[in-house]
Structure 1
Amino acid sequence: MKSERKLRLRRLLRYGLRRTLILPMDHGATQGPLAGLEDMRAAIDGLRGQEVDAVVLHKGGIKWTHDLLCEQRQLSVILHVSASVRLSPRADYKVQVATIEEALRLGADAVSVHVNLGTDGDHAMLETLGRVAEGCDRYDLPLLAMMYPRGPGVHEFGEAEVALAARVGQELGADLVKVNYTGSAESFRRVLSGVTVPVLIAGGERQETPGELFEMVRAALDAGASGVAVGRAVFQSKKPKAVLRGLHRLVHENGTVDEARREAGIAA
Structure 2
Amino acid sequence: MHTGTRARLDRIGTDGNYLTVPMDHGVTLGPVAGLRDIESTINAVTRGGADAVLTQKGIAERVHQNKNDAGYIVHLNGSTVIGPDEDDKRRTGTVEDAVRAGADAVSFHINVGGNHEPDQLTELSEVTSEAHALGMPVLAMAYARGPGVDGHDPESLGHAVRLAEELGADLVKTAYSGDAESFEHVVDSTAKPVIIAGGSPEGDRATLAAVRGAMDAGGRGVSMGRSIFQHDDPGAMASAVSAIVHDDAAVEDALAHFG
The alignment's C-alpha RMSD in Å is 1.3
Which of 51, 54, 60 is equivalent to 2:52? 54
Residues 47 and 183 of structure 1, relative CA distance in 2, 3 Å threshold: closer
Aligned position for 1:94: 89
Q: Which amino acid letter does the alignment assign opposite residue 135 of structure 2?
A: D
Task: Give the TM-score of the pair, scaled to structure 1.
Answer: 0.93
The answer to whether 1:217 aligns with 2:215 is no
Task: Count how many residue pairs are aligned between Structure 1 and Structure 2.
Answer: 259
**1:120-159 mapped onto 2 (5 Å cutoff):** 120-159=115-154
SS of 2:31 mapped into structure 1: coil
> What's 2:221 paired with?
227
Match of 2:245 in 1: 251
Quick one: distance in 2 between partners of 1:62 and 1:27? 14
How far does residue 51 in structure 1 lie from its aligned partner after superposition?
Answer: 1.0
Identical amino acids, percent of aligned pairs: 38
Match of residue 164 from structure 1 = 159
- For the pair 1:31 / 2:37, whether they are aligned, the reply is no
The alpha carbon displacement at 1:240 in A equals 1.5
Q: Is the 8 A contact 1:13 1:19 kept in 2?
A: yes
Aligned to 1:13: 13
Structure 1: 5+ residue runs without aligned partners?
none
Greater relative contact order (Cα < 8 A, sep 6+):
2
Task: Determine whether 1:194 maps to 2:192.
Answer: no
Q: Distance in 1 between matches of 2:254 and 2:94?
A: 38
Equivalent residue number for residue 109 of structure 2 = 114
Contact 1:116 1:122 in 2 (8 A): yes
Q: TM-score, normalised by structure 2?
A: 0.96
- Whether the 8 Å CA contact 1:20–1:53 is kept in 2: the answer is yes
Whole-angstrom CA distance in 2 between matches of 1:241 and 1:186:
30
Amino acid at match of 2:40: A
Q: SS at 1:65's partner residue?
A: helix
| Matching residue's letter, 2:75 | H
Whether 1:240 and 2:234 are equivalent positions in the alignment is: yes
SS of the residue 1:201 aligns to: strand
Q: In structure 1, how many angstroms separate the alpha carbons of the residues matched to 2:132 and 2:222?
A: 24
**Residues 1:22 and 1:224: Cα distance change in structure 2 (over 3 Å):** same
Mapped pair 1:179 → 2:174 = yes
Contact 2:39 2:63 survives alignment (8 Å)? yes
Q: Secondary structure at the match of 2:47?
A: coil
User: Residue 63 of structure 1: CA displacement?
Assistant: 2.7
Distance 2:111 2:241 in 1: 26
Gaps of 5+ in 2: none
Shift of residue 48, structure 1, vs aligned partner: 5.1
Superposed displacement of residue 117, structure 1: 1.8
Q: How far does residue 161 in structure 1 lie from its aligned partner after superposition?
A: 1.1
Task: Find the residue that maps to 1:123 and give its secondary structure.
Answer: helix
CA distance in 2, matches of 1:193, 1:157: 16
Would the aligned equivalents of 1:40 and 1:61 in 2 still touch at CA under 8 Å? no
